[in-house]
Amino acid sequence: MKRKLEKSGKLAIVFAFLAFILWNCKEDPNSTGMELLPGSDLKEVGLSTEKESIAAYTEIDGPLKTDEPNFNLFGTFNDPVFGKTTADLAFHVRLAAYPNFDETTQLDSLVLYLLYKEMYGDTTTMQSLKVYELVEDIFIDTTNASGTGDYPYYQDADLKALASSTPIGHLDYYPVFRLDSTETDTLIQELAIKLDNSVAERLIQADSLDMVNNDAFVNFFKGLYVESQDIASGGALMSLYTLATGSNLTLHYTKVTDTLVTDSLQFVYRINANSARISTFRHDYSTTEFADQLVEHPESPDSLIYLQTMGGLRAKIDIPTLDNWRDSVASGENDIIINKAALVFQVDTVASDYRQYRIPAALILTGIDEEGEEYLPADFSLSSSLYGGRYNSADATYTFNITHHLQNIINEKVENNGFYLGPSFRNEKARRVVLKGASSHAGIRLEVTYTKLD
């Protein structure tokens, strides 16, 4: 074994140079560069394409961490393929300065402004929302470098249980989609929700100790919960720019004295990077064609697999023949170097209706360890661009390079426990896609270019 490893180590350097030559030449890859190696060392450079042994199953995604995203999704959407999705959110508002409220302050209104730009669904369905004041604390997650935090929230967090049962604001609205004058970009739109004056009066009359700093203020005013109301059909999901300057809670007021009434003034309570911002997602797949596929132990691979963001759906991919490469080396039959291993997924463009509903720009393929936990394959660590996963519109595919992952299986550095496949940006973008499954005619392809050595 030691002799075999030493031999493979020396030849790895040689084959790195050989791979460079093969990449840059158009001659037969089975003959180019042969003179660089001893004739007895090179047996075969070949291509293996595997489809039949691959199995793929649609399953519920999660747990998905949903606090402090770049955008908070919101709304209710009845997707014609993926069923109903409802997205709510809760957040802190914080002091930007100490307010100058006094006995001369006269309230005009208290308005919650939420900006949005991207929309997923239609603009023809009226939607409704309600706003509640939080009565229980929410916390910003202090995630550290290891990926763990003190206060992580997931897609099924019960935010309504943390809020008062009495709404303090309500809005019926139609989501708006408008292009700018160049018709190349969408314009930022605004939801303006007038809140109950009793909340505004409490803010005006807050004790100075409740506003001495933001920790004290957040303890006094714990934040807001915004709930999307149910609709029977249609609808849309919006990406809220909660971190944008225009998303805030604004108290409009005037100063009234015996001699003077000021013009309208305002005090802004900001939503910023120090605010807890939590999304929750609810999915109802009961009316979908694939509802029967969402069982714990399916009998056969799916002909179509369904992927959805927002803690919706992912796929479990099993490729048992990856073990055959390792077993071939372990048995002494062959020394094998993997030149390239590519896993190719085909989009069902008809079922996806991708012109109407945007599909993910990229997917994420993760390995599964012995504990069932996900990890990114070694190929991602070496180069995220080489790892792949981006949508190729030319042939409607997503392709992943798992060359080093397969080599690690051969070298017994990792076990072959399969993969999870899901969309990127799962907690902040509304996206979904239908892929050809393992049992479909197009199938899922594993293409391996390899070299056998004596």
Q: Where are the domains of the chain?
A: 2-54+301-453, 72-284
For residue range 140-155, list pLDDT tens digits in order: 986 644 455 678 899 9
CA distance 450 to 379: 17
CATH number of 2-54+301-453: 2.60.120
* pLDDT (0 to 100) of residue 284: 97
Burial class (CB in 10 A: 0-12, 13-18, 19+), 45: buried
Handedness of CA 165, 238, 155, 153 (dihedral sign): negative
pLDDT band at 83 (very low <50, low <70, confident <90, very high): very high
| Residue 353, φ and ψ in degrees, nearest 5 | 50, 55
Q: What percent of the chain has pLDDT over 70?
A: 86
**What is the pLDDT, as a whole number, of residue 20?**
37
d(CA 217, CA 215): 5
> What DSSP designation does 359 have?
P
Residue 351: DSSP 8-state: H
Burial of 431 (0-12, 13-18, 19+ CB in 10 A): buried
Asked if 92 and 272 touch (Cβ cutoff 8 Å), the reply is: no
Q: What is the pLDDT of residue 265?
A: 94
The pair of structure tokens assigned to 85 is 């999705």
The CA–CA distances, whole Å, from 121 to 303, 330, 380, 398, 430 equal 26, 53, 33, 24, 9
Q: Are strands 445-453 and 42-50 parallel, antiparallel or unpaired?
A: antiparallel
Quick: pLDDT tens for 319-328: 999 998 888 7
* 21, HSE (Cβ side, Cα atoms, 13 Å): 16
Q: Which two three-digit tokens encode residue 391?
A: 């949508």
pLDDT at 224: 98
To which residue do tokens 């720009």 refer? 361
Q: Indicate the pLDDT class of residue 183, thresholds 50, 70 and 90.
A: low
Q: Give me the pLDDT at residue 362, please.
A: 97
Q: What is the sign of the dihedral through the CA atoms of 397, 400, 401 and 403?
A: negative
All residues at 6 or more sequence positions from 185 whose CB lies less than 8 Å from its CB, including other chains: 179
